[in-house]
Copies of this chain bind each other. A is one copy, B any other.
Amino acid sequence: MKLSKPQDVLLLGPGPSPVHPRILEAMSQHTLGHLDPDFLSIADQTNTLLRQVFETKNQITFPVSGTGSAGMEAALVNIVEPGDKIVIGINGVFGQRMSDVASRCGAEVVEVNSEWGKPIETEEFEKVMVNHNHVSLIGVVHAETSTGVRQPLEPLVELARKYNALLLVDTVTSLGGLPVSVDDRDLDLVYSGNQKCLGAPPGLAPITFGERAMQKFMNRKTKVQSWYLDLSFLTRYWGQERLYHHTAPINMIYALFEALSIINEEGLSNRFARHDQNSKALIAGLQALGIKTVVAENYRLPSLNAVWIPEGIDDQEVRTRLRQNHMIEIGGGLGPFNGKVWRIGLMGHGSKRENVEKLIKALGEELNTLGHHCSAEEALLESGKIYLD
């Protein structure tokens, strides 16, 4: 029984995002061996392209062989030792996850809990830093996929430097869609995922370790608790030594290579502008449909748009209708946002005007059917204005 051709669902949820046909083609190329010179050359080029999108010169930059959460785990198991005091900012699911992962590494985690849908104030972090000595790391989510909030990073870098702590940043939903700028911002340790703004299928987690992070790693007194994610092995495979550790996921790396090549061809600034414009157009259209945004304008992610579900409208019913009648996937809310929030992704190849308009029309139609009166035509006009600027 052959795999039946998956339907052409338009992925406008929180990820995976639509995959460019070039990437799918690259992924289906002949599988080479993980020590084959031609594959190693592709791996090297992939890491060079990764440095470009991270905007870093960090030598230790490579894709972890797992999905985004494996990137989070790879960062923490390598940098945190039992007893380390670390501070994690939590204003959504992924900050919470970071705290959970860190505590499983034996860290003493101090949580900075903050309201969902808003960035965490620097003062909240500062209060905690003042009250705790020897915090080795501050962890924060740049792009909180559960809420659509963009966390400003500069003040946290300042804070980290002031208290001599590392800054760990989750960029799963930002890398390739909005500036991450690892070197310019002086971020110490950053990971992401393939399947959001990079636009490749899920399965790899790009990561980059700065000098301070490597120093902390080199000074470890205990073994890394994960063999699979142990950086001392991984750097020997991804570096010049080419020592076998685990079999790299060859075809996934072809896909990542191609995704990064496409980004390179587009140029980062063009790509960021595209994400920004399409997000603004979507928001303008949704607002015209009578839908309110969760996040204040200054802190909205262009990649992931969180909006309140209109009163009286059933979350699941709308999502099912979008999927069945229009072949569009959008995401529901997680945790306290479950049933209250839709998460609409415009990421990578998916961030384009055509998709913005498809969604506005489809959502307008279904909302009207379900008794929320609105005009998709007007919404499209409002949305279209953004493109005139």
A interface residues (Cβ-Cβ under 8 A, vs B): 1-3, 5-9, 11, 13, 15-16, 18-19, 22, 24-34, 36-39, 42, 65-70, 72-73, 97, 100-101, 104-105, 193, 195, 201-203, 223-228, 244-252, 254-255, 257-258, 261, 264-265, 323, 329, 334
Contacts and interface: CB of A to CB of B under 8 A. Distances in A.
Nearest to A258: B3
Given A6-B38, A9-B32, 17 more contacts: A1-B264, A1-B265, A3-B261, A6-B30, A9-B38, A13-B33, A16-B31, A16-B247, A31-B202, A33-B329, A68-B246, A69-B246, A202-B247, A202-B249, A202-B250, A244-B334, A249-B252
A28 B30 CA distance: 12
A245 B70 CA distance: 11
Q: Which of A26, A28, A69, A101 has the most CB atoms of chain B within a 10 A radius of its CB?
A: A28
A225 B25 contact: no
A247 B195 CA distance: 9
A252 B101 CA distance: 25
A199 to B, nearest CB: 10
Secondary structure at the A interface, as helix, strand, loop or mixed, is loop
A325 to B, nearest CB: 14
A372 B161 CA distance: 64
Contacts of A18: 31
Contact of A5 (B29, B65, B224): B29
Contacts of A11: 31-33
B70 A201 contact: no
B202 A34 contact: yes
A37 B322 CA distance: 13
Contacts of A261: 1-3
Nearest to A7: B38
B228 A69 contact: yes
Q: Which of A5, A97, A201, A227 has the most CB atoms of chain B within a 10 A radius of its CB?
A: A227
Nearest to A195: B247
A265 B3 CA distance: 13
Given A1-B261, A228-B73, A252-B252, A247 B67 contact: yes
